[in-house]
Amino acid sequence: MQQRSVGASGLRVSRLGLGTMTWGRDTDEHEARDQLAAFTAAGGTLVDTAAAYGDGASETLLGTLLGDVVARDDLVIATKAGLGARRDVAGRGTRDTSRRSLLTTLDATLRRLGTDRVDLWQVHVWSDDTPLEETLAALDTAVSSGRVLYAGVSNYTGWQTARAATWQAAVPGRAVPVSTQVEYSLLNRAVEAEVLPAADALGLGVLPWSPLGRGVLTGKYRTGTPSDSRAATSHLSSFVEPYLDDRSRGIVEAVVKAADGLGWTPAEVALAWVRDRPGVTAPVVGARTAQQLRGLLGVEERTLPPEIDEALDDVSALD
């Protein structure tokens, strides 16, 4: 698999990342093992997790596979802190990006992973309850202590991204963010307005999550909700439902039509489109099974023809 630099940094990762949000909950040890083996066999190096995924279960499961399925040094492990597994009254994950919470979470992450450092540590969410300077100081401490090699942000708006990166770059020795992880797909292109320009101007690599539109761009929901899909589960149905509207259906049909003409799968079309957008380092994909993941890994040999890329760009453009 081709490798790309993360923004203007020296960190290099595979141009496709393996997401582990469901590991330890919907994805058991045997399935996770098969996925990691398939991913690394294809040359993948970037594995993304978070302390909030399964309240640490994802990190724990990944940790059990290090040194067994793959050597620790052969992976670029990216994880996140600042978002809790508990939900507030509005159903949102609790946010705590205080210095105390972030550094305590980092130590717990390292114990779960069974390693002495994280390659890329990202602030999972912005929080108005903690001064940004305090949050960023925690990144400085993590990097200077050797527990973290590179720092990043996640789910920040354009102005939040710019403020964080500019603050860190103002004083030599601070941990300047090298990446931003945001939702980006043919069904959600909102980051193109401000986040992508900010990332480009400040030298941050972009790591899109849900590049397949929360699974909708695979075409599996065209005729209903499959019983084995994420939308059929009580804890993920609300995650998928926003993309089951008329606009999304029109985009999905365009993707399916393009896939039929190319002899590809819809997932390959949608993933190739995101992967090769300007500024993107590596889309992060999660799969229910290793078989599904292997199908997605085939996109490494695919490049969308310019006319197809432009047509999808037009049909999915924001008003």
- Is the separation of the CB atoms in 74 and 44 below 8 Å? no
Contacts of 94 (CB under 8 A, 6+ apart): 83, 84, 86, 87, 88
- Is the separation of the CB atoms in 132 and 156 below 8 Å? no
How many CB atoms lie under 10 A from the CB of residue 78?
29
Contacts of 255 (CB under 8 A, 6+ apart): 186, 217, 219, 266, 269, 270, 312
Q: What is the DSSP letter of 9?
A: S
Closest CA to 80 of 171, 183, 176, 152: 152
Give the SS3 label for residue 119. strand
Q: Which two tokens stand for residue 35?
A: 């996925």
- Is the separation of the CB atoms in 49 and 62 below 8 Å? yes
How many CB atoms lie under 10 A from the CB of residue 244?
15
Give the SS3 label for residue 185. strand
- Is the separation of the CB atoms in 159 and 194 below 8 Å? yes
Bridge partner list, 118 = 148
DSSP H or E stretch at residue 80 = strand 76-81
The residue written with tokens 């259906």 in the block is 249
- Is the separation of the CB atoms in 23 and 53 below 8 Å? yes
- Is the separation of the CB atoms in 238 and 48 below 8 Å? no
Whether 150 is catalytic:
no
Residues tagged active-site: 53
